[in-house]
Amino acid sequence: MEICRHEEPRGFGLAVTTQTAGKRRYIDEIDALRALAVLLVVLFHAYPDSVPGGFIGVDVFFVISGFVIARAYLPDLLARRITLGAFWAARFRRLSPALLLMLAVVTVAALWIIHPDKLIKYSETLLAQPFYLQNFVFWEEGDYFADALTRPLLHTWSLAVEEQFYLFIGLAVLVFRFAPRLFLPVLALVSMASLIAAIYIAPQSPKTVFYMLPTRLWQLSLGIFAAYAAQSIGRRGAGLNHAIVAICFGVIAVNGFAFSEASPFPGPHAFLTCGATAVALIALDAQTRSFSPLMFAPLRYVGRISYGFYLWHWPPISLWFLATQSKPTPLVATLLMVLAFGMAATSYHLVERPIRERRALPTIVALRRFVLGGMAMVVLVSVTIVGTNGALPLYPKEMRPFFLAAKERGPFRCPISFRLRDPEAELCPLTEDRGELGILVLGDSHADMLDEMLADIADTLDQPIFLTVRNCDYGYFGQSSFCSDQILTEVIETAKRSGISTVLAISLWPEDLSYDALVEETALLVDADLRLVIMESVPSDPSLNPIRRARTALETGTAPSLVGLPVEVYQEQTLSQRAAFAALAERFPDHVMVLSPQPYFCDDDACRFHTDGLPNYRDRSHLTRAGRENLRPMFRDLFEHLRDGP
């Protein structure tokens, strides 16, 4: 994200200032606002339980960025006093050097710390950095809050949104240079569309609203409108403005504690935060004298290095987790943040300021060579890591299948093209629709991991098969807005219209499985004349994680273990669900069938960890290709039974 000091970029004849009595005025207090924003983000990542909504600091930065760009560049861009090339060069001069330094240091650390499965995912996000497309990579990986600690570059998604915003501004300038009076009205319409789209898309895909520019544009544009509003209002008395600023700072700070990942976005907290930021910027621009509480030198210094602090604060937390497999304690988190602050200060004084002030890389040609060279190196390193399966040759040969197993990933749940084409759909087809007797696969990621194999079986038998778009467990509808009772009703209605006759429920069933909820949802299926096939959980245990076994082998200097899970452990794990499913089948004998994977995975003594030396698991419970193939005979028999009838 752009968190730069609003200073005069040399060579462009511009400054992020207002014209007052013939002099340019620098708004020192904006550094304090940046400090508040970056501290909220840092505290959220370091102490998430204490500051659960600190990530709204990013929203603050987005509004500030729009404000800064509007005051520094937009009038001159629209009046053709500077070129778009000069504008983009200024942005690269400000943002790229510090980013490249951080990427270099973190990548060296990652090569030492991260195992191949996660290193490949790291390299994919690294490869996206030069093109500022990392928000798309993280969007494809899933929710921001899911497995966040395993992604050292996760925080850079906002940098991608910023750079995409600069591209958007450039394209808008090209269009409206010949009609500059239309710029703000059209931007207002686009911003309103952005906000409406965010509200509309959020229930279907919260991660899209979180990661993507089209649903964040309203925040960045709000800063632009704030800058123009401040220009229209002009400078007025300080007293009222200072009171407004104090209230706005308080609103932002309170939201950092009141907001959480469970809060809707966009929602009241986001609107309050962005609105308070915009009002504070207008009031700061309008004041006739400085607001002394925000002139505190240490606070302003944090604001000046806030871009670097944002860049450096997250990788140490993530790398610590990847190295130790445990979240940092408050003491460790504090030490890591001290380290990050030191790196930010070093970067600011030795890299950012010299380059920004043109003491280093003074010409456009030098800047271009540095940035393009650094980006090329990032691409080369990323491609090398991917091409070697996460630097796999650095590990002993007998461990490589374990790391390869751990890096296996299932496809994006329902094709992206389908999700974009029909964003409101609750089911997606996995095979060509060939009429009646269709099968609907419903469940969590354990259902998703089987969808390709299930589609292959159904395709050979000429049976249509579908997958639910939402990752929802059967028996748990109504416990969240994302998997509500209404969603289940829509799924059932769509299933009937699509010629589906059977619902196949697959999940890693929790211990607190509710029999009453199963009965209630099954009754809805029975009323719709749908059959339910429910599969017991596959064997699962931390000991089945191939990375855990490979790490143990590295520590002990022995070969990785191939020992399976004792069958009595698996039977104990599934005792309650087997009892619930058996009772469900007894209650609805004509509509419920139960599948057990035990005969396909287990013998009398143990449930197999491997098939012909290849691990059956990529983590503690999700199956690899080798593991899934163990279940192929079971599902083929099921599909033939459903096709041919009893």
Cis amide bond preceding 203, omega within 30? no
Confidence check: pLDDT of 13 > 70: no
Of the candidates 515, 518, 441, which has an alpha carbon nearest to the alpha carbon of residue 474?
A: 518
| Distances 379 to 162, 187, 609 between C-alpha atoms, Å | 21, 35, 37
Encoded tokens for 546:
């191939």
CA dihedral over 567, 568, 572, 578, signed as positive or negative: positive
Res. 326 pLDDT band, cuts 50 70 90: very high
Give residue 102's pLDDT. Answer: 98
Cα gap 535→478, rounded to integer Å: 21
pLDDT exceeds 80 at position 234: no
pLDDT band per the 50, 70, 90 thresholds, residue 8:
very low
At residue 16, does pLDDT exceed 50? Answer: no
Amino acid 435: pLDDT: 67
d(CA 96, CA 160): 12
Is the pLDDT assigned to residue 109 strictly greater than 80?
yes
Helix (H/G/I), strand (E/B), else coil: 470: coil
pLDDT of residue 146: 78
- Mean pLDDT, range 201-209, rounded to an integer: 90
Q: Across residues 65-77, what is the average pLDDT? A: 93
Banded pLDDT at 1 (limits 50, 70, 90): low
pLDDT, average across residues 413-419? 82
Given this model, what pLDDT does residue 117 score?
81
The kind and range of the H/E element at 197 are helix 183-201
**What pLDDT shows up at residue 25?**
65
The neighbouring-strand residues paired with 24 are 19
Concatenating the DSSP letter of every residue in 478-527 gives TSSSTT-HHHHHHHHHHHHHTTEEEEEEE----TT--HHHHHHHHHHHHH
Query: What number is the average pLDDT over the span 188-211?
Result: 94
- Fill in the amino acid letter for 51: V
Q: Is pLDDT at 235 greater than 90 in this prediction?
A: no
- Which of 111-120, 306-315, 553-562 shows the highest mean pLDDT? 306-315
The pLDDT score that the predictor gives to residue 262 is 78
Q: Is the pLDDT of residue 23 over 80?
A: no
For residue 265, the model assigns a pLDDT of: 82
Distance, CA of 213 to CA of 490 (rounded, Å):
30
Lowest-pLDDT range of 12-21, 227-236, 323-332, 468-477: 12-21
* Predicted local distance difference test score (pLDDT) of residue 644: 81
Mean confidence (pLDDT) of the chain: 91
User: What is the predicted pLDDT for the residue at 269?
Assistant: 87
Tens-digit pLDDT profile for residues 168-178: 999 999 999 88
> Is residue 436 classed exposed, middle or buried when 0-12, 13-18 and 19+ CB atoms within 10 A define those classes?
exposed
pLDDT band at 413 (very low <50, low <70, confident <90, very high): confident
Average pLDDT over residues 559-572: 94
Res 238: pLDDT: 80
Question: pLDDT (tens digit, 9 = 90+) per residue, 511-536?
Answer: 888 999 999 999 999 999 999 999 99
Using the predicted structure, report yes or no on whether residue 616 has a pLDDT greater than 90.
yes
pLDDT average, residue stretch 475-484: 90
| 8 Å CB contact between 276 and 218 | no
Alpha helices in 11-133 (DSSP H): 29-46, 57-72, 74-78, 84-113, 116-128
Q: In the chain, pLDDT over 90 holds for what percent of residues?
A: 78
Residue 360 has pLDDT above 70, yes or no: yes
Share of the chain above pLDDT 70, in %: 95
Question: d(Cα 486, Cα 371) in Å, to the nearest integer?
Answer: 51
Q: Which burial class, exposed, middle or buried, applies to 152 when counting CB atoms under 10 A from its CB (0-12, 13-18, 19+)?
A: buried
Confidence of residue 434 (pLDDT cuts 50, 70, 90): low
**Where are the extended beta strands (E) located within 292-443?**
427-429, 438-443
> What CA–CA distance (Å, rounded) separates 160 from 386?
22
pLDDT for res 105: 97
